[in-house]
A and B are shown apart, each in its own frame.
Chain A
Amino acid sequence: MAVTVKIPTQLRSVTGGEAEADVDAATTVGEVLDGLYDQYDGLRERIAEDGDLRRFVNVYVGGEDIRFLDGLETPVEDGDEVTILPAVAGG
């Protein structure tokens, strides 16, 4: 078991087209993302800046925006689904 990350189309050029990735042994959203950055070169600078997420990147755990939880410190468990999405839609 691992945490599954859903990757938006805008990032698939650095994941070799993969729409999902599994990350093992992560206990927080921040660790999940670090695991993802280790798997794919060039991913970190796309969505993160100075150790934080860029301002138009949304991350969800089980459909809930992590800003309503504990941000990058939000705990995750095996089997959780983490979704990365652009924040520039709607209205």
Chain B
Amino acid sequence: MGSIEALQCKECRASYPLEARFVCEHCFGPLEVSYDFSGLEAESTKRRIQAGPNTIWRYADFLPFERPPVTALAAGVTPLVRADRLAERLGIGEVWVKNDAANPTHSFKDRVVTVALAKARELGYEVVACASTGNLANAVAAHAAAAGLESYVFVPADLEEQKILATGIYGTNLVAVKGNYDDVNRLCTELSAERENWAFVNVNVRPYYAEGSKTLAYEIAEQLGFELPDRVVVPVASGSLFTKIARGFEEWLEVGLVKGELPTMNGAQAAGCSPVATAFEDDKDVCRPVKPETIAKSLAIGDPADGPYAVELARRTSGSVEAVGEQEIRDGIKLLAETSGIFTETAGGVTTAALAKLAREGEIGADERVVLTITGEGLKTLDAVRGSFETHEIEPAASAFAEEFGPAPAAKAAASGV
């Protein structure tokens, strides 16, 4: 296995022991798990992956554990489907949809929570908590229930009803905070200092939690036959998923599981909450926080923790961070549904709209293999699609149907009479 070395500051490279901490005491930079992969040989690593379980633990060599933990509700190995009809509509060559709605609680958050809770238990915590825009709340509540841990989930009070219902049902302590996500996050950062026996998955154990997102990259590469795509489009909220997907590809390049170079990385934000896209556009290396105003609530983080790294990644891979409008988000949801049969939430609408924008602007080469990462389920944000199509209401009579849709074709009627 790859050996886990330490927690390391992404800013000043200071090193810390592998415990529940997330901030560098010297410069306040974020901590990240560092590994030594020099002991991993490509062929045997590949065989180990292929013989592994149908969950993220098949990639245990690249996750922060000495040996694969046993988890009650595992995540991962979601479908990567070729979306030719979507590619055709967009006028580009080859698009694949990584459908992470096909996880236990219907979003990519099951990946990070699986890792975070396994680490929390290893470190001896019995209470888990999170600051969430909804999907994380679903995942923490469910995984805590399955693992028999007590949980507290903090969400903005104005969250979509579907996400509230799909969280409370697991028997968690659901805390609706009167404020936006950044208020919730500030509160949880303060509480994590006071509640020493709690593992806040995206605060004090965040360095481990974030590692779970790398498994999306591993799966994409493995499902493409141990090859890298040319371009990946990813939604950006805190910027953690976006940067960790790239890190996953980089690790596999380092170990030799894939060849070539890092894909072009395109981030996607809603224009109503686009601090990262704005910093990219303005060529800044800090993100000025904003007050979110968008239907894409799962991406509504006005003060993104990994924003500077997301901007840096987009630049380094000749990618971008796009911002799309509210109607484009709704159109994106519809476009994906109509062409691929996949119904995504607003975040997926943002991502699909960003891909459509890149295609429209001629950014995508004819021979490119593009992966669109869909991180969540449409049933969780039903209000976004309400009124976007017509329902034909009729009396239960054949004549009523004919009145609405026209008479049955005559030729067919004659043929059936023979």
Contacts and interface: CB of A to CB of B under 8 A. Distances in A.
Interface of A: 6, 8-11, 13, 46-47, 54-58, 60, 63, 65, 67-68, 83, 85-91
B206 A46 contact: no
Contacts of B285: 55
B305 A87 contact: yes
Interface residues of B, number: 41
Contact of A85 (B183, B189, B206, B238): B189
B128 to A, nearest CB: 15
Interface string B238-280: 1111000000000000000000000000000000000000000
Given A55-B286, A68-B291, A83-B190, A91 B28 contact: no
B33 interface: no
A32 to B, nearest CB: 18
A contact face: mostly helix, strand, loop, or mixed = mixed
Contacts of A63: 183, 186
Across the A-B interface, the 7 shortest Cβ-Cβ residue pairs:
A91-B238, A88-B30, A90-B185, A86-B23, A89-B203, A56-B28, A9-B193
B74 interface: no
25 contacts: A8-B193, A10-B28, A11-B25, A46-B28, A54-B27, A54-B28, A56-B27, A56-B28, A56-B29, A57-B28, A58-B186, A65-B303, A67-B288, A83-B190, A86-B189, A87-B305, A88-B23, A88-B305, A89-B22, A90-B188, A90-B189, A90-B203, A90-B305, A91-B202, A91-B301
B186 A86 contact: no
Contacts of A85: 186, 189-190
B237 interface: yes
